């Protein structure tokens, strides 16, 4: 594809990235103040959509992986918290190791096999819980799921629009 036709693709991505920021700012008044400014989760899940194959099925697997990652994070925090009085410093590392080992078994099921997205979802949850004052499991999970879904929708829109444009250019 010649550059003069290709240039519309980066422009499309730029417009979509702009739109994610607009959506984030529009969500701000309806969300608790500590639950705003998480468009970075949209960008993560937008990218995850592509490494999951850029398909609706991959998007669903991505969403499931994010949810499992959130659940795994909660288990780690609960386990680590309950063990800290007896194990001290080793409580959280042990909880991380046990749960990380356990979640790898999810790769044996087609719908839960997207392990990198699971770890990205878990990382986003830990970021929320560690850096947002007053964060709770419910607020963090809700916020991450909302922003994850937005990013996955943008992944779908990107593929749909780009495919339509590339098909038009081929004719």
139-169 confidence digits (pLDDT tens): 899 989 999 999 999 999 999 999 999 999 8
Tokens of 80: 């680590």
Q: What is the mean pLDDT of the chain?
A: 92
pLDDT at site 36: 62
pLDDT band at 31 (very low <50, low <70, confident <90, very high): low
pTM of the model: 0.89
Distant-in-sequence, close-in-space partners of 118: CB < 8 Å, separation ≥ 6 = 65, 66, 68, 69, 72, 103, 106, 112
What CA–CA distance (Å, rounded) separates 164 from 75?
Answer: 43
pLDDT in tens, 47-92: 999 999 999 999 999 999 999 999 999 999 999 999 999 999 999 9
């Amino acid at each position: 594809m010649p550059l003069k036709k290709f240039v519309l693709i980066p422009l499309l991505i730029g417009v979509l990235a702009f739109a994610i920021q607009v959506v984030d700012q529009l969500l701000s008044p309806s969300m608790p103040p500590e639950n705003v400014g998480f468009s970075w989760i949209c960008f993560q899940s937008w990218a995850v959509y592509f490494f999951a194959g850029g398909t609706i099925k991959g998007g669903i697997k991505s969403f499931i992986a994010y949810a499992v990652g959130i659940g795994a994070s909660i288990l780690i925090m609960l386990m680590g918290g309950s063990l800290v009085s007896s194990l001290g410093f080793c409580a959280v590392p042990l909880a991380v190791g046990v749960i990380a080992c356990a979640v790898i078994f999810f790769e044996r099921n087609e719908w839960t096999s997207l392990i990198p997205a699971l770890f990205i979802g878990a990382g986003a949850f830990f970021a929320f819980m560690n850096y947002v004052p007053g964060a709770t499991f419910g607020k963090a999970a809700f916020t991450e799921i909302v922003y994850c879904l937005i990013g996955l929708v943008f992944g779908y829109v990107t593929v749909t629009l780009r495919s339509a444009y590339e098909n038009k250019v081929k004719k």
